[in-house]
């Protein structure tokens, strides 16, 4: 079985800005686990644990997918999880080409018999995962204040020239991602 997902690898310019934001946020280990720079990505679809031949079918469907390169701008920092935050992420400026690409990826999954989750697509780049219950009051306050302080964060626009299929290995030190294949977008300058 292969645990897989489809995502945008991020241009180095955006990754550097995200690393800077991570360094400005209060992310005390071990309750908070920052995403390592090489793991920063924007998930288009979670594929889950699937038999290798099905992932191979998806790979061929993604190879056949045609979509345009586009510019991506990151904007704002916030948390998922409501009153007990579980992750901190950078937001993304609304982008119709990004939404179109994500719909095409879901269609490719459908075509090969994978049942994609139909939750509303909320594009984001996860910066850190956290266990809220393990943070004391002072750390919680500093973390939330940091998120508010970074709300003016903006990075880009940067060209997205490709998307990729990843394998995720879950380890005790956090997930490790291997890029299985990269798919170029049409009209990319880079
Ligand atoms: O882009 P992010 O970091 O939000 O959260 C996981 C990560 O997304 C998500 O897939 C991406 C690569 O691991 N993920 C993990 N398990 C999931 C699940 N069961 C999931 N998304 C939906 N359902």
The chain-wide mean pLDDT, for the chain, equals: 96
Structure tokens at 94: 């609304």
Which pLDDT tens digit goes with each residue over 82-114? 999 999 999 999 999 999 999 999 999 999 999
Question: Exactly one of 26, 60, 89, 124 is catalytic; which is it?
Answer: 124
| pLDDT reading at 190 higher than 80 | no
Which pLDDT tens digit goes with each residue over 9-46? 999 999 999 999 999 999 999 999 999 999 999 999 99
pLDDT at residue 174 in the model: 83
Q: Which residues of 3-26 are buried (b: 16+ CB within 10 A; e: fewer)?
A: bbbbbbbbbeebbebbbebbeebb
Residue range 147-152: mean pLDDT, rounded: 94
Q: Which atom of ligand 1 is nearest to 5's Cα?
A: 12
How far is it, in rounded angstroms, from Cα 66 to Cα 63? 8
Q: No. of H helices and E strands in the chain?
A: 4, 9
pTM: 0.95
Closest CA to 159 of 124, 122, 190, 181: 190
Structure tokens at 161: 């020239």
> In testing the pocket of ligand 1, which one of 3, 22, 42, 43 has its CB within 8 Å of the most ligand atoms?
43
**How far is the CA of 53 from the CAs of 57, 93, 114, 153, in angstroms?**
6, 36, 12, 41
pLDDT at residue 78 in the model: 97
How far is ligand 1, taken at its centre, from the CA of residue 167, in Å? 12
Active site (annotated) includes residue 60: no
Which domains are seen in the chain, by residue range?
2-184 (3.90.1140.10)
pLDDT at residue 115 in the model: 85
């Amino acid at each position: 079985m292969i645990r897989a997902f489809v995502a945008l690898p991020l241009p180095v310019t955006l990754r550097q800005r995200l690393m800077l934001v991570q360094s400005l946020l209060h992310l005390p280990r071990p309750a908070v686990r920052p995403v390592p720079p090489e793991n920063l990505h924007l998930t288009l679809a979670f594929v889950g644990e699937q038999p290798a031949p099905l992932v191979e079918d998806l790979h061929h469907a993604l190879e056949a997918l045609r979509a345009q390169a586009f510019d991506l701008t990151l904007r704002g920092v916030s948390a998922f999880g409501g009153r007990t935050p579980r992750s901190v992420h950078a937001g993304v400026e609304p982008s119709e080409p990004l939404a179109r690409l994500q719909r095409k990826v879901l269609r490719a999954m459908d075509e090969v018999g994978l049942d994609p989750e139909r939750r509303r697509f909320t594009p984001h780049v996860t910066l850190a995962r956290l266990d809220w219950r393990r943070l004391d009051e002072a750390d919680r306050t500093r973390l939330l204040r940091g998120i508010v302080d970074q709300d003016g964060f903006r990075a880009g626009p940067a060209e997205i020239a490709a998307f990729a299929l990843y394998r995720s290995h879950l380890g005790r030190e956090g997930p490790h991602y291997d890029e299985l294949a990269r798919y170029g977008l049409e009209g990319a300058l880079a």
